[in-house]
A and B are shown apart, each in its own frame.
Chain A
Amino acid sequence: MPRVFITGLGFVTSIGNDTATVTRHLRELRHGFEVYPPFQKPDIPVKVIGTIKEFTTDSTDPEDWTFPAAYKIKRELLRTMAPNGLFAHCAMVQAIADAKLADADISQPETGLYAASAGSPYLLHHHHDRLTKVGVMRCSPLGIVASIAGTLNFNLIAAFKIQGSSCGFSSACASSAHALGYAYDDIMLGRQKRMFVVGAEDGNVDAILPFAGMRTLSLQTDPSLASRPFDAGRDGFVGTGGSVTLVLESEDEVARRGVRPYAEVLGWGQASDGWNVAISHPEGSGSAASMTNALRAAAVSPAQVDYVNAHATSTLIGDVSEARALRTVFKDHLPRVAVSSTKALTGHGLSLAGAMESAFCALALRDGFIPGCAHLTQVDPECADLNLPRATENRQPGIVVKNSSGFGGANVALVFKRVA
Chain B
Amino acid sequence: MTPKPFAPEDEVALREALKRCSPSTFEAAVQFRKTANPEHVPAVVIGVIERFVEPDLRMKLKDADDDLRLIEDLGIDSLTMMEIVILVEDVLQMTINNDELRNLRTVGDVKTFIDCKIRGLPLPKPTKFIPIEHVAAVMPIQPPFLFLNEASVSSASANGKYKITGQEFFLQGHFKDNPVMPASIMLEALGQLAVLYLLEGAPTEPGKVISPQTIFFTGCEGVRAHRICKPGDILTLSIKPKRMKMPLATFEGSIRVGQEKAVIAEEITLTFGIVEAAEAPVPISAIGHAPGSTGTASAATTPPLRVAINA
Footprint of B on A, CB under 8 Å?
63, 74-76, 79, 134, 137-138, 140-142, 144
Task: Please give, as numbers and ranges, the residues of chain B lying within 8 Å of A79 by CB-CB distance.
Answer: 83
A158 CB, nearest partner CB in chain B, Å: 10
> CA A137 – CA B87 in complex, angstroms?
12
Q: Is residue B257 contacting chain A, with contact meaning CB distance below 8 A?
A: no
The reply on B218 being an interface residue by CB < 8 A is no
Docked pose: A134 CA to B80 CA in angstroms: 19
| Most chain B beta-carbon neighbours within 10 Å: one of A63, A134, A142 | A142
What's the least CB distance linking A20 to chain B, in Å?
Answer: 33
In the complex the two chains form, what is the Cα distance from A63 to B95 in whole Å? Answer: 26
Contacts of B275 in A (CB 8 A): none
| A138-B86 contact in complex given A63-B20, A144-B311, C-beta closer than 8 Å | yes
For B86, list chain A residues within 8 Å (CB): 137-138, 140-141
Q: By the criterion CB–CB under 8 Å, are A137 and B311 in contact?
A: no
Of the listed residues B52, B79, B82, B95, the one surrounded by the most CB atoms of chain A closer than 10 A to its CB is: B79
Residues of A within 8 A of B83 (CB): 79, 140-142
Determine the distance from Cα of A138 to Cα of B82 in the docked complex, in whole angstroms: 10
Q: Is B266 an interface residue (CB 8 A)?
A: no
Minimal beta-carbon separation of A155 from chain B (angstroms): 13
Among candidates A75, A138, A142, A144, residue contacting B89 with C-beta atoms closer than 8 Å: A138
Question: A419 to chain B: closest CB distance in Å?
Answer: 40
**Is B82 in contact with A141, judged by CB distance below 8 angstroms?**
yes
Counting CB contacts under 8 A, is B168 at the interface?
no
Which A residues touch B52, using CB under 8 A? 75
CA distance A140 to B309 in the complex (A): 14
Residues of B whose CB lies within 8 Å of any CB of A are 20, 52, 54, 79-80, 82-83, 86, 89-90, 95, 311
Can you add 4 more A-B contacts, CB < 8 Å, to A134-B90, A141-B82?
A137-B86, A140-B83, A141-B79, A142-B83
Q: In the bound complex, what is the Cα–Cα distance between A74 and B79 (angstroms)?
A: 15
- Can you pick out 22 interface pairs between chain A and chain B where the beta carbons lie within 8 Å of each other? A63-B20, A74-B54, A75-B52, A75-B54, A76-B54, A76-B80, A79-B83, A134-B90, A137-B86, A137-B95, A138-B86, A138-B89, A138-B90, A140-B83, A140-B86, A141-B79, A141-B82, A141-B83, A141-B86, A142-B79, A142-B83, A144-B311
Interface of A: prevailing SS = helix
A141 to B89, CA, bound (A): 14
**In angstroms, how far is the closest chain B Cβ from the Cβ of A64?**
10
CA distance A141 to B82 in the complex (A): 6
Residues of A within 8 A of B89 (CB): 138
Smallest beta-carbon distance A150→chain B, Å: 11
Q: How distant is B209 from chain A, measured CB to nearest CB, in Å?
A: 38
A347 and B83 CA atoms in complex are apart in Å by 38
Please indicate the chain A residues that have their CB under 8 angstroms from the CB of B54 in the complex: 74-76
* A140 CA to B86 CA, complexed, in Å: 8
Chain A minimum-CB-distance residue to B311: A144
B36 CB to nearest A CB, Å: 21
Q: In angstroms, how far is the closest chain B Cβ from the Cβ of A166?
A: 13
Report the bound CA distance from A138 to B83 in whole Å.
9
How near does chain A come to B10, taking the closest CB pair, in angstroms?
14
Residue of B whose beta carbon sits closest to that of A76: B54
A28 vs chain B, min Cβ distance (A): 42
CA–CA, A137 and B82, complex, Å: 10
Give A18 Cβ to nearest chain B Cβ, in Å. Answer: 28
Q: How many angstroms between the C-alpha atoms of A141 and B307 in the bound complex?
A: 10
For the complex, give the distance between the alpha carbons of A63 and B311 in Å: 24
Contacting residues, chain A, for B82 (C-beta < 8 A): 141
A residues near B95, Cβ cutoff 8 Å:
137
Nearest CB on B from A310, distance (A): 40
Q: Which residues of B contact A137 (CB under 8 A)?
A: 86, 95
